[in-house]
Structure 1
Amino acid sequence: MNHTTEEILYIKYANERNREFAVRTEILENIDGKRSVKKTPLYPEGKAHVAGLMEKYRRLEPDYEKVGLFCNRAEADGESVRLEYLMGESMEEYLDALLNRKKKEEAEKLLKQYIEKIQALPGQESFCMTEDFKEVFGDAKGLETMASVSNANIDMVCQNVMMDENRWTMIDYEWTFFFPVPTAFLVYRVLHYYLETHGKRSVFNKEAMYTWAGITKEEREVFHEMEQHFQRHLTSEHVPMREMYGAISPGTYPVHHLVTKEQIRRGQERMQVFFSDEKGFREERSVYYRLENGEFHGTIEIPEHTDEIRLDPCDGMGLCQIEELSFDTGTMGEIVVSDGITGDGEAYLMNAPDPQFYLGKVPKGAKKLTIHLRVVVTEADSVKINEFAGKLLANGEERLKKQKEKQQQKEARLKQEAEENFSRQAEEIARLQMELARKTEKIEQMEQTKVWKLYRKYRTIRERN
């Protein structure tokens, strides 16, 4: 095939890997407007890795067809490999679009449908540890009872699935291995890289999804270690440029502290409020509000046709204290979903750089929302975050103690009031009994008088006549 008159539309260098895995990826367009994706090794050591795409395509294609999936077609092109350029929307983009339209159930159904296809891949056998597996994923424990596939494309993440009507095509299968890999690890990577990489996806119950997929917490920890070992396998002794600073720049002035300080200052300057309509949350239906020393105390207008409200209190990790959320209808605002951690629904540890709080449905007739909150943004490192977590737990514990004391005081007060009421009631009953006794005695005395006896005789005669 003649590709001499092609235009390069896009180029990417994966050069932070070992030389044997480093590749150049290009999107090319010929004079007829037809596009293709071309992968080329950057170094001679990488020729086998790129050429191996052909064998991976040949083995995966029949397996995928049996579960209703398709492989992006590959063809050799000298030392390079050509792949189809597919138009359409990735599964990741499609799922996110469903979430934006508040169709979480539909998104969950689709994600589960895809996972079931992976779980149904043919040729599954009990896992068997191999030296090749140890080299790539480490000597992982507890895999012996798991089902595994030997044509294992571990990169079946939603980003690599192109959707065209009912046809789902795997556009990248570079990381396919021909030794047993647990099928559950393939599923784990799909869930992990979709559910845990963006705050908007926190509407999913992550724990429930892993449980549904049959992946325990202990297995997730094993899979996490496998993933870390795999990433190290890609780089090995190669040091990515992003990690060179500390090694080649001793003694330089730590400018990053100044940058971090400025980021913290800016992160506490404003909050952003989104007002969704039938098209979901989007920038054009959002408003920025200034924070004074990290605090906001005020009432905001709710635009017409607003279905739900999302509050982005700041830009950065740290702590957010919610003092009040209330609508002008008298209804209290409630945070129904958040990517922060809270113990009491008031103080939140924000462990994501773009924290988001979803208030849910706006009450009918509501036109204003009163907000009282304060935020403290800190550096995105484990020490600072742990300090804030400790403060959060301490504050939560102190708040719970105070709530417990108030409840005990209330119970004691009610008990005392009940005892006092009982005492008063007992006294009133005793008084009424004494009054009744006195009146009974008076009646008995009156019945013994001559006048009463004559009156009673008179009434008897009258009743007879």
Structure 2
Amino acid sequence: MDRLIYSKFSNERNSKYAIETSIVENDGARWICKKPLYEEGKQHFENMKAAYWGLATMFPKGELAIQPYEEASDGLRFPYVEGTDMESLLHDIYNNQGYEAVLSKIKEYFNMIKKYSSTEPFQKTNKFVQMFGDFDFPQETKCGKFNNLDYGFANVISSENRQTLIDYEWTVDFPIPVEFLLYRALHYYVYTCPESVAFVKTGIFKDLGFDEENIEKYLKMEQNFQNYISSGKVSLGELHESMGQKTYNIHELYSEYCKNETPGMQVYYDYGEGFLHENSYFIKPEIDENGVETIYIKDIPKNALRVRIDPRKECSILSLIEFTADNDKELQEIMDTNACEINDDNIYVFDVVDPWFVVKNENFSNIVLSVSGKTEKYIFKVATQIRENRNLRDKVNIVEKEYNEVINSTSWKITEPLRKLRNR
């Protein structure tokens, strides 16, 4: 009998593509099970079966194995592939070997995909326009005989000198530029991985051959594809925005109720064992009329080697107003942070969910930290200042497009109250 381990419902999609995905265990063996949520979704599963045979024919097993499927009474099931996904491998490579080694690994993977997915010329078809929009590409643009939109690094499992592609749900038999497929894989990796700031700052998209003009086109294609998948369905966010009557947001009400109780910034002391949660505490900042938040850290233990301050618990952009010790010691020049500083204007971009400032304890008694989190005000300033720096000009449009894509999305708008709650 199957023992359920995990289950996910993709029911925000159009009913033709809505599926349930589960992980089950039976007699010690694990399986990925997928089934349509609606009768009209059965054709999507027929397409998945055709996708397997198409990709398995296109790629030699020695370079990229395709996860096989078995027929099930209510859908398809796939054997669970043991190993390490490529996202995790890239993270380890970055920490142990650095950025250039990450580039080399990604280029190796991309070149392998291109080798077997560049056999057909691009021809704009009605299906392509319906799914991605009416876009033109140069005559030399190459495509595969079968084109998989799920070449993402999380879908590639390495084990025993073999790479296996474990998701090919969105594979089609009409031409799609292979460069778009590769950009899509890189896009979703870069903007979700722990090294996001470093990769964007260094220029990973340009280093891998993606220019701004094509990126702009690819982002529009991706947006159209997401609209295509969800056509006929209204998400909770869209439903919320379509309702005309006044609503009360539970997150804002709760935040107002407990704002005097909610901890603000977290302070850690390192006694030689790193920053442990048990060696930390919360300080609620004082907030002035301009929204500047200030905390006062007093009586710092003399045996603390370092002091760490977490000003937020989510991605954010902060202006550093003051960071001093014992009233006059400037800490900004000696601090470490996981943010990207924009020029010399004390603006720090934290594209990680755990922002921090760290300073070595030089027998400090007290530390004062003041920051401003007026994100909307500083986003414009960030973009303007980057434009003025010619060395970073190539990266501006990437950052701005990604930011605009996020802030204009329904999910960003509907989660605004939650972000406000977490920032208090």
TM over 0.5: yes
- Separation of aligned partners in 1, 2:100 and 2:213: 27
CA contact (8 A) 1:72 1:170 kept: yes
2:153 corresponds to which of 158, 162, 167: 158
Q: Would the alpha carbon gap of residues 177 and 246 (structure 1) be closer, same or farther in structure 2, given more than 3 Å must change?
A: same
Query: Displacement of 1:147 after TM fit?
Result: 2.3
2:82 corresponds to which of 79, 87, 98: 87
Please list the CA deviations of residues 58-104 of structure 1 after superposition, one character each: whole Å capped at 9, or x if unmatched: 11123232771111111222451121111232222333345566855
Matched position secondary structure for 2:59: helix
Q: Output aligned runs, 1:118-129, within 5 Å.
A: 118-129=113-124
CA contact (8 A) 2:271 2:303 kept: no
Asked whether 1:348 is paired with 2:348, we answer yes
**1:418 maps to which residue?**
none
Asked whether 1:15 is paired with 2:11, we answer yes
- Separation of aligned partners in 2, 1:395 and 1:180: 40
1:224 corresponds to which of 213, 216, 219: 219
Query: Displacement of 1:289 after TM fit?
Result: 5.0
2:60 corresponds to which of 59, 65, 84: 65
Matched position secondary structure for 1:18: coil
Instruction: Give the stretch that moved more between structures: 136-145 or 190-199.
Output: 136-145
Task: Pick the structure with greater CA Rg.
Answer: 1
Q: Would the alpha carbon gap of residues 244 and 60 (structure 1) be closer, same or farther in structure 2, given more than 3 Å must change?
A: same
Q: Output aligned runs, 1:404-423, within 5 Å.
A: none
- Separation of aligned partners in 2, 1:268 and 1:391: 29
**1:314 maps to which residue?**
312
Q: Output aligned runs, 1:426-445, within 5 Å.
A: none
1:179 corresponds to which of 167, 174, 183: 174
- Separation of aligned partners in 1, 2:158 and 2:269: 29
CA contact (8 A) 1:322 1:372 kept: no
Asked whether 1:388 is paired with 2:365, we answer no
1:240 corresponds to which of 231, 235, 238: 235
CA contact (8 A) 2:55 2:66 kept: yes
**2:29 maps to which residue?**
34
CA contact (8 A) 1:51 1:76 kept: no
**1:460 maps to which residue?**
none
**2:126 maps to which residue?**
131
1:290 corresponds to which of 283, 286, 298: 283
CA contact (8 A) 1:150 1:181 kept: no
- Separation of aligned partners in 2, 1:179 and 1:134: 11
Query: Displacement of 1:178 after TM fit?
Result: 1.0
Matched position secondary structure for 1:19: coil
Query: Displacement of 1:182 after TM fit?
Result: 1.1
TM-score (norm 2): 0.74
Q: Would the alpha carbon gap of residues 337 and 73 (structure 1) be closer, same or farther in structure 2, given more than 3 Å must change?
A: same
More contact order relative to length (CA 8 Å, sep ≥ 6): 2
User: Which structure dedicates a bigger proportion of its chain to helix?
Assistant: 1
Matched position secondary structure for 2:376: helix
- Separation of aligned partners in 2, 1:395 and 1:258: 37
CA contact (8 A) 2:270 2:304 kept: no
**2:369 maps to which residue?**
373
Query: Displacement of 1:53 after TM fit?
Result: 1.4
Please list the CA deviations of residues 399-422 of structure 1 after superposition, one character each: whole Å capped at 9, or x if unmatched: xxxxxxxxxxxxxxxxxxxxxxxx
**1:443 maps to which residue?**
none
Query: Displacement of 1:346 after TM fit?
Result: 1.8
- Separation of aligned partners in 2, 1:263 and 1:187: 46
Q: Would the alpha carbon gap of residues 343 and 67 (structure 1) be closer, same or farther in structure 2, given more than 3 Å must change?
A: farther
Asked whether 1:323 is paired with 2:318, we answer no
CA contact (8 A) 2:321 2:372 kept: no
Q: Would the alpha carbon gap of residues 387 and 291 (structure 1) be closer, same or farther in structure 2, given more than 3 Å must change?
A: same
CA contact (8 A) 1:53 1:74 kept: no
Aligned-residue sequence identity (percent) comes to 28
Q: Would the alpha carbon gap of residues 269 and 115 (structure 1) be closer, same or farther in structure 2, given more than 3 Å must change?
A: same
For structure 1, the residue ranges without an aligned partner over 5 or more in a row are 379-384, 397-465
